[in-house]
Structures are given as C-alpha cells and as structure tokens.
Structure 1
Amino acid sequence: MTLAPESEARPVPEGYVRLTIDGIEVEAPKGELLIRTAERMGITIPRFCDHPLLDPAGACRQCLVEVEMNGRAMPKPQASCTMTVADGMVVKTQNTSPVADKAQQGVMELLLINHPLDCPVCDKGGECPLQNQALKHGRAESRFHDTKRTFAKPVPISSQVLLDRERCVLCQRCTRFSKQIAGDPFIELLERGALQQIGIGEQQPFQSYFSGNTIQICPVGALTSAAYRFRSRPFDLVSTPGQCEHCASGCATRTDWRRGKVMRRLAGDDPEVNEEWICDKGRFAFRYANAADRITRPQIRENGQLREASWTEALQAAAEGLTAARDAGGVGVLPGGRLTVEDAYAYSKFARVALRTNDIDHRARPHSTEELRFLESTVVGVTPENGVTYADLESAPAVLCVAFEPEEESPIVFLRLRKAARAGKTQVFHIAPRTSPGVEKTTVITHAGGPVRTGSLVQCVPGGEAAALESLPSDVDEAMRQQGAVLIVGERAAEVPGLLSEVLRTAQRTGAGVAWIPRRAGERGAIEAGALPTLLPGARPVVDDHARSDVERTWGMAPGSLPAAAGRDATEILTAAASGELSGLVVGGVDPDDLPDPELARKALTGAGFVVSLELRPSAVTEQADVVLPIAPSAEKSGSYLNWEGRRREFATTIDGTGALPDCRVLDTLAVEMDADLFTQSPAAASAELDRLGTHTGGRTDGPDEAVAYAPRPGPGQAVLATWRQLLDNGSLQDDEPSLAGTARNRVAIVSPETAKRVEISSGQRLEVRTEQGKIVLPVEIADMPDDVVWVPTDSGKARVHKVLGAGHGALVDIAPSSASPATNGHSLNGHSPAHHHGGNA
C-alpha cells in the first residue's frame, strides 16, 4: 500500500491555500500577496515600491521571483508584491532560484544607471534600502559608462519636503501615500518613459498635513526634510521611542537626538494606534524645547519685575504666598491640557492636600457644566477594553462625527476614517456647517473608476448641532442603528447647549457607541487623574463619602480631611479670582487666549493676590505671576499620556541630564515647603500611587439631560459664527518651525454665495467680522455654507476669535466688506493660492 504524503492527508483550512516557497510547504490566507507569505516565513525578498499599508503597484520590479503553477513554470519571473497566493503554487526566491537572482540583479543594475551614487552626502546614507540591497543583490561593477541623467536640485515641493529627482527610483510610494492614505493628490508622476519623474502641478503645492510621511517611506534619498537636511548622519544619532505630545491621537514616535539636542522625529510603528503614520505637527514641531526664551531658572517678582532666583528661594516664596492665599480666600488651580497623567495627578493631589480645595479644572478652553456631567458619566474610566478604539472605527458600518473636525483636531483618527471609507466598509457622516477638506476626503473617495460617495454631510447652522442630531435624515439614522456604529463628539460640543445631552440620547436610541475626542494630549489623562472640580483620581466623585474615604486612606490622611463639596470650574475660578473672592492661582501651561473669555482671564491674573506659574516659556501668565517655576518639556522627562481611547501611552526620558524637572517633582517639593507630602517626587512614584488607587467601582453620576438648543437667528448685517482651530495655527508648541508654518492652510473667512451676494462681496475681497469688542478682517472664500453663517479659524494669524471678538462657535457677529488695505495675514506662508479638493483620490 502506498501511503499518501502528510501534506495530502492534512486538509487545507477553509479560506486558506497551500503552496511551497523555497521548498517549504506553507498555508496562507486566500488573497495574501506572495511577498507577505514569504515575510511570515522569515524569507526576505528585496523590494522598493512595496509597503504593507499601500496598494500594490509592481513599480520597481525588484521583488521578482520564479513561479510554477500546476507543474509549469511561468515564462518570466513575477513580481511577488502584486501576485497573490494560489493552491499548489511553487515559488522560488533569489535564495533558491538563479533565474530570480539574475532578474533581481538586472533590475538593480537598471535602477543604478541614472542614480548619482552620492551616498556620502545623502541624508539617507546609512539607513537606505537602495544602499543595502545594492550591496546584497546588485552587481559588484557597473557596465554603464555613459553620462548619467541630471536634474536641478533640490526642488522644494513644499516648505517642508525637498525633491532630488536624480535619486528617485519611481517606486511611487510617495504618490500612492498622497492619494490613498492622506487624500492629498498634489504630488504625481509627470512625463513618460525615460523622462518620467515625480513633481507637482502648477499652482498646486504639496500642501498636506501628512507630507512628512513621504520622506520617511521614501526608500532612497529622493525626498528629504528641509529642517533636517545635512544636519546629521543616521549612525551619529541615538534613537528613543516616545509618544507625541501634540494631540489626543496617542501616536507612537521615534526621537533621534545627538549631543543633547533633538535632530528629528519619525513615526513609530504601532498597528493599534497610528500604524506607521504621524501628522506633520507631530513630526516637525519639537524645536520649542530649545527656544531661546525658554525659562530654565526659577523667577520671583520684586518691585514689579521678575528676577532669577534659586530653587530654594523661589519655592519658599511660592509656599509662603500660597499658604497665605489659601488661608485667606483660597487658591484655584488651572493645570491646562498639556500634562502627562503623572503631572495631572500631582496637580490634583496638590489642590486637595496642600491647598485643601476642589477648585481645579484642566479645561483651558471653552467648557460647560453640561460637559462636566458628560465627562463624569460617559468618559472617565473608559479604556480600550470597554470603549471605542481605532479598530472599532475601522470596522464600524457607520461613523457620525459631530462638533468634530477630524483632520484638524485628531489627524490619525481622520486617517482611520478615510481608510475605512476607502475600503468600502464604513459610511462616514458629519454634522457640520460646511464641506471642509477633511469632510470631503472621508465622504467622497476617488478610485480609478471615478468618485464614490462613502458618506455625507448633514449641514447645520452653528449652534444647531443638537437639533440636527435629534432629527437625523432617515438614511443616517438607519445607518447608525447598525451594530458597531460609532458616534464621535469633539470638545467643541461644550459650546453648543444641549448637544452632549442629545449625544447620549441618540446613542441610547440607536445603540451606537460614543467616543469623545479632545484636541490636547493631556485631556483624557487629566480626567482620570482627577483634575476636575467634581472628580477625585480614579473616577471618584468628590461628593461620594466612600470615594473620599478610599482616597484618604491611600493618601494617609485623617478621615474627613478632603473637602466634600464640588469645586469651581475654570470660568468660575477666574471669575472668583477677578473679583477678589479667590486670593491665589496656580497655573500650569495655560494660554489665556485659549479660554472662552481671555479678558476675564487677564483680570483674574491681575486680581488674584498671588499667582504661581509653572511654565516652559514666557507667556501672558508669567507676565503677571509672582513666582515662575520652570518645568521640563516632554523630551526631558518620562511619563505617560492617555489617548482618546483611554489607552496608556508611556514614554521614557529622551534627553537626560538637563536638570529640568517635571511638574510632579516641582509640586512635590513645593508641597513639602507647605508642610504637606505628595509623594510624587518622580513620574514613576506618581504613576504607582495612581495605580494603587485604581478605578472607582461605585456608581457613576447621571449624564446630562438638557433640552435641545436651536441656532440663533441673525438680524440684518449679522451672521452666525462658525469656528474651530486648525491643526497648524498659533499654538506655542509650533514656534520656531517656519517650514511647518509654510503648509498651514489659508486664513480665510468662508460664506455662502447667497451671503456673499447679500453683503455685496466677491471671492478674494476682504470681509470684516466684528463684535462690540473687536474685529477680524480676512479674505473671503465662497463655499457651501448655510446662508447667514461665516466661518473663521479660531486661532490662526491675527484671527484670534476669543481674544479679538470675545465670541465663540454659534455666536452672532456683524459682517461687512472691509475698506482696510490688503494684508498678508489672510494667506498661507507659502504664497500659493487655495487648492480646491475634489475628494481624496484612492
């Protein structure tokens, strides 16, 4: 009897095929690319164009392998990055096939014919796939002796990205990323044949929030960073894994530094969060830590002027002033939203233990009591195990964004939404006043066959979002009732009365999951750490006797020591300080112009009897502070952030030995001077204590249930203001980054055609938006806005809505043509005209 081989006896699992690669039998999922199957087996096939997150292109031909089907060899080697596995397939890579090896050597020789071989001066030298693979799979000597093709170089395709066409191997990674991932099709293959090259169209700059990713995925030195070019060699750098500090996306990063100075930042590989991408803000905005005006020594105010002092003197002065203020009218604490979890915990504990108050609120932005109840009931305590995650967004049948502009406020969430929409699995809906670029690129995907609608805009007047959510169109409501649907709400919802209440009602009605996504990296962690007037650390309500007892035991305090009444929120703290009711303030990294009433904040700073500022650089707060205590930027300390999912994002110190102290250490030492012990002398100590506290297992407070508010009705000469922050704006962490600022979007006022006709203004002319407090003048752009609505950026250039207008999203403003002379503050710094999007190409 002849026994069948084991491979024939063993059945192939459903959905899999069985094939042989280099003599090894393997089972692979149907539809998997040959190059991926080989990778899983530990077989490396050289490639340039292939990237696991981009569609196959087969452009470079470096991954050629020999393939047999049904016992017959294919007539020529095949590109393993475009061919999928099949049952019975026999594949021979360069390791076992002379044919494949010769083909790969021939392709390498062809790629090097016009390559300049300038490795000693190329930024990619030392980490270049072309360099590595030429040594391993190329010929030892070149047979090409003619003159190589040359181009003028470098070509600035944007203020951040420089192109060297001589080095380009036309792998198309950059063009595919731009079209497929970012949806910004401004970089393209030009010409044909031997003249083919990468370039941009006339008057269409590569203006993208994600352009830096093309530099990182370029397999040669064709695309380089304007900020990093010729600054260092890869083998001179020390690399440290880190976390981005700019927004709540929670991106993994890699920081490369030399001689105590950060040279560049790259995207880290984290499939569960940012995959292999980061936005340009996260990639390029790191020079603020080395700003010339950075505060490195404590300062105290004498005779109206700040002077440098020793830590001992400054801490004693701060302790004496805060103790006196605490015993008089009390002290309010405004930590801001930039904090790590550990630093936020230290502020929370400092307020309760040293200052004996619940007057603490990290929300340095427009906020409301309704939002506070929403955070208490719905957000605090949420983790990836019990809440919405990136994977849930990608697999959701429908996602509805309300009061949330994903590309501007959380770029990696935008990329996930676009990825899901492009795959055809997810419908993305937006409740917003206009079709912004981010809205268009998630609701209209242009494939090879033309544009495909993958969602829609539910247009509403600012302030009317709650009413729009209450009466969703039937198709959107039906989509949101599918299992796995997600409702995303942004921090701007705090400016719309009744919206967060309606979010909860809609979620209950449809069964959709709810995700709250703030802008700043420290917001979620601050909630868990108890940096709110109604919450103690670990989701414990301030008014809950048992919750307070838990905290008192962990902190070693006598029963009844913690204040039992809820504290004031940020606006109430500022109001009390301005009126003299509060005698002191402790302020973290807060910019008064970010608050809903900057004028009130300035009155509070001058009206408070004693102000302590923990800051990195001079600000409007340090101008009024009695004591300024310098703190460490994220690169010079360790800690963790919580991203919007509630996922812990830990990072270690990148630049050590600078002497800079984290907020938790500064507050711990200050508390000792006030005869209190925080035990937060290091981020590790603060984190360990917070972990010991754990999450409160008792009942949660009820969510808000406020009535739906409707948008205001403008009178003659008026409009309803729509506003939100852009990703690249006046944020202080973007200072000293001219290349990054060069790709900021145009600062314009946007109105509908009917509104423009009523105001008697045409596109490009200057529109004046004013209130009783001030006015903003910007070039006007006509778009698909509701009538009698005007959109302006919240904090870009001279358009500082809160500071200048004293108004916010949904407020009534006056609009009229401006007689002022043209100015430059309405245009992007790269000087290009606005580019109109036609959906994100796929």
Structure 2
Amino acid sequence: MTTTPEKATELVNVTIDGIQVAVPKDTLVIRAAEQVGVQVPRFCDHPLLAPVGACRQCLVDVPDAGNGRGFPKPQASCTLPVAEGMVVNTQATSPVADKAQQGVMEFLLVNHPLDCPVCDKGGECPLQNQAMSNGRGESRFSGGANEGTKRTFPKPINLSPNVLLDRERCIVCQRCTRFAEEIAGDPFIALVERGAQQQIGIAEDAPFLSYFSGNVIQICPVGALTSEAYRFRSRPFDLVSSPGVAEHDACGSAIRVDHRRGKVMRRMAGDDPEVNEEWLTDKDRFAFTYAQGDDRITYPQVRGDDGALRPASWPEAFAVAARGLAAAKAAGGVATLTGGRLTAEDAYAYSKFARVALGSNDIDFRSRPLSAEETAFLAAHVVLTAPSNGGVTYADLESASKVVLVGLEPEDEAGAIWLRLRKSTLAGRTEVIAIAPFSTRGLTKLNGRLVPTVPGDEPAALASLAGELDGTAVVLVGERLATVPGGLLAAADLAATSGARLAWVPRRAGDRGAVEAGCLPNLLPGGRPVADAAARVDVATAWGVDALPEAEGRDADAIWWALHHGELSGLVIAGVDPADTSNPVGAKAAIEAASFVVALDVRETDVTRAADVVLPVAPVSDKAGSFVNWEGRVRPFEAALANPSSLTELRILSGIAAELGTPLGFRTVAEARAEMEQLGAWDGERTVAGVTGGDENLGEGLVLATWKQSIDNGSMQDGDKYLKATARTPVALVGKDVYDACGPTVTLTGDRGSVTLPAEVGDDLVAGVVWVPANSFGAGVLSDLASPGSRVRVEGGQA
C-alpha cells in the first residue's frame, strides 16, 4: 500500500524588529511577532476568533524594504498576513509604531470610566495593563466646557441572568459578538448605533440564550461584561488559582478554580488546545456551588437504636459499616452501585472493594436505564481505547469527513464536542449527520443533516448509512443508544463494514473511568473479563489475594430486583439518584428493602436519609484524582481546597476494608494510581458475548423521545439561581396535527403517571413521536411519565 506524502508547509521569510524568522504562509504578523518573543498589544485579537482589526491597538510599522511589501502608514498586525521579505517594526523598535499605539490608547480612554478600584476586572485587565505599558501618562483630551465629562449609560444591563453589561466600559473590540456568532452560533448580541455611540445591544425580550454565554465574560478585555454570581464578590489579586477538570460531563474540559479562604469564588476555562481549547459550557463554569449548600454532609452518621441517624466519628462509622456489611454478606450478599461522579481512582477502589472485601462481582456504575448488550459493547469497543493507541480524539472530529451522531445531542450532553464540531463544519471540513427524531437547535447550528428516526428504529437508520461512510468518518455513540435493542451492535457493525471509527460518549464525567476501573459486573480493572480464568488470576495476584469471585455479577437493574426480592441483603451506594434509574419507584423500594445500606455522598439525598451509615465524601474541589474523558484521555487534577469534613471515597473504602480484615493496600490517591498503573491493561481477548434485544409491544399512542438538556434540575447544578434562570422552559414537542388537535397545552400519560406541559410544533419531528426534556420538570420523565421509547397518550391539557 502506498501513501501520498503530506504537502510540505510553505514558509515565508520575514524580519521582525531586526530578527529574521521563517513562518508558514498566511501567518498573521501579530503571530509571527510572538514567535520572536515580541508581544504586540491588542484587544480585539483572539487566536480562536476570525481577525477583525476593530481596536487598532496592534498597529505596527511596515516600511518599504525595496520589494513593494511596505505601507506608508502603520498597519493592524492582527489582520495583516506576512509576505516574503516583509520587514516589520513593532513598538519595541519603531517610534512610529509606538506613537500610533499610544494614540489609539488615548482614544480608547477618552470615555472609559476611571473605576478600576471597583471594577471586577481590576487587577487582571488588559486595558489597565496596556495603558501602563503602551499608553501616555497624560491625556490631551481635556479642557473646554466638557472637561472631565465622560459618556455614561444606565447600568448594568442583563444580557442574560448570568451576564451583565456595563456599556461605558466597552471599547467595542467585538470579541463578545464574534464569539456569539462564530463559536457558539448564538448571535443574540450585536453592535448597534454608529460612531461614538456604537455599543453592544440586544433585542428586546430576547436574552442571550446560550449554553456558552460565560465565555464572553472571560474573553472581554475590560470590565464591560461581568458575571452576576461573581460581581463584586472578590478581587482577582485576592484569589488563589488551581487547575482542575470539569465534573459535569465526559468532555474532560480544563478549568481554573479560583478560590479564597477555603471557598470557590469562580471557575474559568483552562487553556488546553487538545481538549476544550479556551472555551467552557455555562454548566462547567457556573455549577460549582452544589458543594457549598446547607445540605452538604459534613460528618459521618450511623443509625441509632431509636431508628434515627446520629453523628459519629470516622472510626465508629468505619466499624459500624464493617459489621453491617459483614452480616449482610453472610445473609445474602452485598452489591455496589457507584454512580457516575467518581474519579478513576475512586472507581478503582470500589471495584477492588467489591471483589476483595465483599467477595462479589455485583457492581455497576450505570444507575441509568441500560441494556444487556451494553456490557459487551463496552468490553469490545470502549475499554482501553485512548488517543495513544488510535482512539478517536477531538482533533479527529475536526478532520473527519462525516460525523454521525446517534443517541447523542452534543450541545446538551457534551458541549466541548459540539464546539469542536461547530468549528469543523464552519471550516467546511465536516458534515454532521444526526440519527434523531427531529433537528435540534444544536444540529441546525452545525448545518447538519437529519436522518429522521422514531426512537427504537436507530439500528435500521444506522444500516442505511453504510454506503455513505468510509475510513475518514466517525460514529459518535451516546449512552442513550443502550436503551434501544440492537442499537449498539448496529453501531459497531456500521463501523466495521464502512471502516468508520467508533467512539462512545457517556453523559457523566466518571463513566469512562468506571469502565476502565472495572465497575462492571463482567469486567475487572484494565478490561479483564471476569469470565476469563487467566484474567482473574492476573488481578488476584496483583491484589495479593488467593482468588476472585468467578461468576459474573448482576448489573444495576438486576441488583435492584435482587434487593427487592431478598436475594441480596446489603448495598454500598455512592452518588446514585433513584430518579435516574430505569425504574425509580422500584429503586427506592429496593433501598428500603435492603437490610443494610452504606451511602457515600456529598449532600443529603433520599438515599442518605434511608441509609444505615452515611459517609461524607469530598467533591472534586476538595480532592485529587483524575477523570477519563470520552476519548480515553486521562485528565488528572489536584485538590484546590483542603476540607477536613469529608474524605476521598477510596480513603473511606480503605477504612471499611481494614475493619473487615481485607485491607485494600492503599489509602491515598497517589498510592491507588500507582497500583492501577502497575496492574496495567489486559493483553488478552476482551470480547464478551452480547445479547440482542427483541422488539417490544409498545401499544398505542406516541413514542416518547427524551434526553437531558444542558441546564436542568440536576442536583449538581443546585445553588446558583442565575444559572438556573437560564434553563430552557420545558415544553413538549409534537407534530402539527397533534398541536392542532390538542392545543397549546398537552397532557402526556404513560405507565407511571401524567404530566402537563406547554406544547410546541416540531417542524421536522417524525410522525408518531413526542419529545420532552428528561429532567426539567417534576421528578423527571422516568419517575413521572414512562421509560424512553415507550408509548404515551397525548391529550389536550389545561393551562
């Protein structure tokens, strides 16, 4: 097989401040200057936005060097591409450039208020810094009748519940409007008026509705755009900054945690070109106050003789938990449900605890609805894939000819993926194809193509794309596809027959790490199958135990059933919301039926209120660890805060295991991480037999489609009323015929109850389908209505 060599990058030679440098053709002068160590001042320029030359602060002198490459006047270096033989003199060497920059700065400060002592940006303000480094000490704009008078406006203006605008501070750099149009695709803000009155405006009754609005606050070079939640709360120089990783989805976005006196004050986007670049979803930026709520658990609790929970010391809680679990193990066995918030190290601790301390493979991280074939799919196509061994990456999404989305709405469920797809589609490199019941707002902004599909028909829709895809395509599989019988197998078959690459995108940050760590009933750490004797021996030897349980364990649904029917006696449960399970009522009943329950959580929940031992765990701000994102990329982080009121989950499990006489062999994150690395990955056969599902008799009515929106009623979004105010109003999307028959309000009735919601017409909604957001009203679809893919009755409701 022969390959065509890549075309060599064409270089041009340019001289900047007397230093000759070769840079790729079409490089902007401002970037070329950076390569020789010269920082040209700028405000409108941003490396991820299209050049616009709005602020003029980056003027440089480009004299004629006898080759026709010069200009008679200073030029904006952020819009000027280099040319062969070009000579550029920046403010560092050219009085002409320096004078021009000082003049622009003088203009910018004519109306800019002198409110640095009270401005949120003071201390980290590019305008403040560059006024000192590249401005004049005195202004010539004074004297006359208007001496000292600056332009003022009423303030602040709420662009959205999260974002406030102080118009007199704006220098019209257009970073915010360009971000809204180019990056987020949400052009709700725009420049209005002209000349000296030009300003950022917004249409009446049209707030800045975007899942990414907080980015305009961070990239604003002055204090014109501020955060409602952070405004006047702290000064930048009072903050301590710690790098971190966002915990709300599987994207692994880099963040910066700014804290003061043991409290997180704000979160900012980190700079990681390989993952989220410099952008962040509003959920990742603003949803951190859940760990500061009044219902945070700050001490261990055990159930007393009177049946009520009472405070306990850590040693007592460990001892009580160990005694109860030992009794439950002897009576019928103990299962472990871990949820999806865990770091990889904590997930590894649960995996080892279940096998070594509890002697059981009854462990699952999937509290959500699942299918029998999912474990086979995860074992064969997900575990151990990573960027280092050919796994799909963010960069691959930018270069893919086609990206197929199935069971996934990335703008809602994986914002960093959506931003990367938006970048690629705008550049004309990628076509996005969505297998879904209707064109979402996110798909429309990607100029994507809809393959209209009734929930449950995804296998046939996937098969229909076989002739369109090739090795340059990517199939992104969301976890919702697991609820469709045969869906995951169809995705795997499509990738195998077409040569397209396949990637699994879970919803939660800890899901992928839980797969790698063995929090599944049929997989041990490193992708080792429970059913493989050699794999069991491999792990048992590494863990220093004689043997591991041989039989594959129960999955989450089977665990709930076994608890309810007395086949299991005890439960260790961490961060699981019964409302997220396939049968919320059954899950609650199972917890009540268990003879002994140990709950590990950050906040008080229905589960902790029913538990026999409650152990407070540290949120991500208070502990070190790592997430494994959807790519398989390990995303480590250190603790930002030190809070003695809670412990890491692996430390808690270590304490209980020691009381049981089966020590885990580690007590710190570093020790657990070292053991994981030493154990390594399985090098044997990983395929696990799957189960294909049959079609269900769905009865009459409309097929229910649903997924979670980015901002919803999730417990980890509690505490920020401004973020909550940006949640989209829950509506039921119906066909025009249903809307005409039922009116603007509909009542949906399923096998679990009824809900009444406003109705909207879905322009291209597949006939016979109704869509509602999963967790935006009441207790949610699973609790109040029915399972996704089932049929519901639709009637006219009362407003």
TM-score range for the pair, normalised by the shorter chain length: over 0.9
Secondary structure class of the residue paired with 2:709: coil
**1:588, 1:799 → 2: CA distance?**
20
Which residue of structure 2 aligns with residue 662 of structure 1? 648
Asked if 1:66 is matched to 2:66, the reply is: no
Change (3 A) 1:370 1:198: same
Which residue of structure 2 aligns with residue 143 of structure 1? 140
Which residue of structure 1 aligns with residue 412 of structure 2? 408
Secondary structure class of the residue paired with 1:198: strand
Which residue of structure 1 aligns with residue 107 of structure 2? 110
Asked if 1:735 is matched to 2:724, the reply is: no
Which residue of structure 2 aligns with residue 10 of structure 1? none
Which residue of structure 2 aligns with residue 781 of structure 1? 760
How far 1:714 sits from its partner (Å)? 5.9
How far 1:703 sits from its partner (Å)? 6.3
Which residue of structure 1 aligns with residue 250 of structure 2? 248
Which residue of structure 2 aligns with residue 470 of structure 1? 463
Which residue of structure 1 aligns with residue 91 of structure 2? 94
How far 1:75 sits from its partner (Å)? 2.0
Which residue of structure 2 aligns with residue 228 of structure 1? 230
1:52 to 47, 53, 72: 47
Secondary structure class of the residue paired with 2:647: coil
Which residue of structure 1 aligns with residue 190 of structure 2? 188
**2:188, 2:581 → 1: CA distance?**
36
Secondary structure class of the residue paired with 2:183: helix
**2:217, 2:469 → 1: CA distance?**
38
How far 1:214 sits from its partner (Å)? 0.4
Asked if 1:212 is matched to 2:191, the reply is: no
Contact 1:19–1:85 (CA under 8 A) maintained in structure 2: yes
Contact 1:714–1:720 (CA under 8 A) maintained in structure 2: no
Asked if 1:77 is matched to 2:74, the reply is: yes
How far 1:192 sits from its partner (Å)? 1.4
How far 1:772 sits from its partner (Å)? 3.4
Asked if 1:813 is matched to 2:792, the reply is: yes
Change (3 A) 1:711 1:320: closer
**1:61, 1:98 → 2: CA distance?**
16
**1:99, 1:63 → 2: CA distance?**
12
**2:479, 2:554 → 1: CA distance?**
19
Which residue of structure 2 aligns with residue 27 of structure 1? 22
How far 1:662 sits from its partner (Å)? 0.3
How far 1:368 sits from its partner (Å)? 1.1
Asked if 1:508 is matched to 2:496, the reply is: yes
How far 1:213 sits from its partner (Å)? 0.5
**1:106, 1:153 → 2: CA distance?**
28
Which residue of structure 2 aligns with residue 363 of structure 1? 366
**1:290, 1:570 → 2: CA distance?**
30
Change (3 A) 1:178 1:478: farther
Contact 2:299–2:645 (CA under 8 A) maintained in structure 1: no
Change (3 A) 1:705 1:572: closer
How far 1:366 sits from its partner (Å)? 1.1
Asked if 1:442 is matched to 2:446, the reply is: yes
TM-score, with length taken from structure 1: 0.91
Which residue of structure 2 aligns with residue 447 of structure 1? none
Which residue of structure 2 aligns with residue 522 of structure 1? 510
How far 1:478 sits from its partner (Å)? 4.7
Alignment-mate amino acid for residue 80 of structure 1:
S
Which residue of structure 2 aligns with residue 803 of structure 1? 783
**2:252, 2:184 → 1: CA distance?**
18
Contact 1:486–1:512 (CA under 8 A) maintained in structure 2: yes
Secondary structure class of the residue paired with 1:109: helix
2:131 to 126, 131, 134: 134
**2:540, 2:116 → 1: CA distance?**
63
TM-score, with length taken from structure 2: 0.96
How far 1:14 sits from its partner (Å)? 5.7
Alignment-mate amino acid for residue 229 of structure 1:
R
**2:647, 2:44 → 1: CA distance?**
45
Which residue of structure 1 aligns with residue 537 of structure 2? 549
Secondary structure class of the residue paired with 2:548: coil
5+ residue gaps in structure 1? Answer: 1-12, 444-454, 823-842
Pairs aligned (count): 783
Contact 1:461–1:711 (CA under 8 A) maintained in structure 2: no
Change (3 A) 1:534 1:69: farther
Matches within 5 A, 1:154-193: 154-193=156-195
TM-superposition CA deviations, 1:548-595 (whole Å, max 9, x none): 11111111112xx21011000000001000011100100000000010
How far 1:657 sits from its partner (Å)? 4.4
**1:658, 1:223 → 2: CA distance?**
36
Change (3 A) 1:401 1:772: closer
Secondary structure class of the residue paired with 1:68: coil
Contact 1:122–1:221 (CA under 8 A) maintained in structure 2: yes
Matches within 5 A, 1:676-691: 676-691=662-677
How far 1:350 sits from its partner (Å)? 0.5
How far 1:471 sits from its partner (Å)? 1.9
Which residue of structure 2 aligns with residue 790 of structure 1? 770
Which residue of structure 1 aligns with residue 4 of structure 2? none
Change (3 A) 1:292 1:713: closer
**2:612, 2:686 → 1: CA distance?**
40
**1:711, 1:134 → 2: CA distance?**
69
How far 1:70 sits from its partner (Å)? 5.3
**2:645, 2:327 → 1: CA distance?**
30
TM-superposition CA deviations, 1:136-178 (whole Å, max 9, x none): 1111011222321100011111000000000000000000101
Which residue of structure 1 aligns with residue 10 of structure 2? 15
Instruction: Tell me whether 792-801 or 43-52 shows the greater mean CA deviation.
Output: 792-801
Asked if 1:586 is matched to 2:572, the reply is: yes
**1:331, 1:104 → 2: CA distance?**
71
Asked if 1:399 is matched to 2:403, the reply is: yes
TM-superposition CA deviations, 1:214-255 (whole Å, max 9, x none): 000000000000000001111111110111111100011110
Which residue of structure 1 aligns with residue 449 of structure 2? 456
Secondary structure class of the residue paired with 1:666: helix
Contact 2:706–2:773 (CA under 8 A) maintained in structure 1: yes
Secondary structure class of the residue paired with 1:516: strand
Secondary structure class of the residue paired with 1:199: strand
Alignment-mate amino acid for residue 469 of structure 1:
L
Instruction: Tell me whether 65-74 or 532-541 shows the greater mean CA deviation.
Output: 65-74
Which residue of structure 1 aligns with residue 426 of structure 2? 422
1:700 to 680, 686, 707: 686
How far 1:700 sits from its partner (Å)? 1.4
Root mean square deviation, CA, Å:
1.4
**1:102, 1:341 → 2: CA distance?**
55
Instruction: Tell me whether 424-433 or 14-23 shows the greater mean CA deviation.
Output: 14-23
Which residue of structure 1 aligns with residue 392 of structure 2? 388
Alignment-mate amino acid for residue 28 of structure 1:
V
Contact 2:377–2:488 (CA under 8 A) maintained in structure 1: yes
Change (3 A) 1:14 1:485: closer
5+ residue gaps in structure 2? Answer: 1-7
How far 1:203 sits from its partner (Å)? 2.1
1:627 to 591, 608, 613: 613
Percent sequence identity is 57
How far 1:369 sits from its partner (Å)? 1.1
TM-superposition CA deviations, 1:434-476 (whole Å, max 9, x none): 1111111112xxxxxxxxxxx311111111111111123xxxx
Alignment-mate amino acid for residue 607 of structure 1:
A
Asked if 1:642 is matched to 2:619, the reply is: no
Which residue of structure 2 aligns with residue 487 of structure 1? 475
TM-superposition CA deviations, 1:97-125 (whole Å, max 9, x none): 11111111110000000000210000000
Contact 1:463–1:711 (CA under 8 A) maintained in structure 2: no
Which residue of structure 2 aligns with residue 533 of structure 1? 521
Secondary structure class of the residue paired with 2:251: coil
**1:670, 1:690 → 2: CA distance?**
20
